[in-house]
Amino acid sequence: MLNIVIFGAPGSGKGTQSDLLIKKYGLKHVSTGDILRFEIKAGSALGKIADQYISKGHLVPDEIMIEMLEDLIRKNLDKKGFIFDGFPRTVEQAKSLDELLNGMGTSVSAMINLQVGKEELVNRILKRGKTSGRTDDRNETVIRNRINIYNRKTVPLIKYYEDQEKCICAEGMGTVEEIADSLIDSVKKLAVKK
Ligand code: AMP
């Protein structure tokens, strides 16, 4: 299996780049943010809980996220691999993902780190908020809160994957195609190395 963690701050282009990698490799896209938004729209119990965190720009608790992910992976074991978009966001989640994949005889193949400057992120998200329908994309305080939480809780994962020699650093600026080409190149090199 080819399992890619697509990593970066809110607004770094994870969703866009995931779409291109999915087309290229036929992977199952796992976007935890999309799943939570679906649950909120459906008015489910999980959605109601998640909404309380998402609307403030906070992270949904690890236990909830890990259980959700476990369920999803188990239902998709026939796939060629996964692209994890928005998960893991904490070291706890990364450890659980490793355990889960290891238990299934597979592992994270690569983590792609999309790097974009802070002000560019805020501008991109505000722009996206005009059409995305996401309330957490419209309020600048919530956006800055999401970026701060990313820096505090999610950035330590870069070292986590660097220590495992799985980190591919990608320039998140440039055209979508330029970034995608360089990512596909890196994934190929990594796949050859293994
Ligand atoms: P995203 O679409 O990935 O930007 O996620 C939107 C929001 O959903 C985040 O700001 C969090 O509140 C929540 N969320 C998504 N994925 C996770 C995760 N892995 N852990 C905790 N919260 C998450």
The DSSP line for the chain is -EEEEEEESTTSSHHHHHHHHHHHH-PEEEEHHHHHHHHHHHT-HHHHHHHHHHTTTPPPPHHHHHHHHHHHHHTTTTSSEEEEES---SHHHHHHHHHHHHHTT----EEEEEE--HHHHHHHHHHHHHHH--GGGT-HHHHHHHHHHIIIIITHHHHHHHHTT-EEEEE--S-HHHHHHHHHHHHHHHHHH-
C-alpha of residue 155 to centroid of ligand 1, in Å: 14
Instruction: Please give the pLDDT value at position 37.
Output: 96
Cα atoms found within 13 Å of the Cα of residue 166, Cβ hemisphere only: 20
Q: In the structure encoding, which two tokens stand for residue 102, read together? A: 């290891």
Indicate if ligand 1 lies below 6 Å from the C-beta of 172.
no
C-alpha of residue 86 to centroid of ligand 1, in Å: 6
- The C-alpha atoms of residue 35 and residue 71 are separated, in whole angstroms, by 12
Which ligand 1 atom is at minimum distance from the Cα of 86? 3
Indicate if ligand 1 lies below 6 Å from the C-beta of 33.
yes
193 pLDDT higher than 70? no
Give me the mean pLDDT over the 129-135 stretch.
Answer: 92
- The C-alpha atoms of residue 88 and residue 99 are separated, in whole angstroms, by 13
Indicate if ligand 1 lies below 6 Å from the C-beta of 96.
no
Banded pLDDT at 181 (limits 50, 70, 90): confident
Give me the mean pLDDT over the 131-148 stretch.
Answer: 94
- What pTM was computed for the model? 0.92
- The C-alpha atoms of residue 94 and residue 65 are separated, in whole angstroms, by 11
Instruction: Please give the pLDDT value at position 121.
Output: 94
C-alpha of residue 60 to centroid of ligand 1, in Å: 7
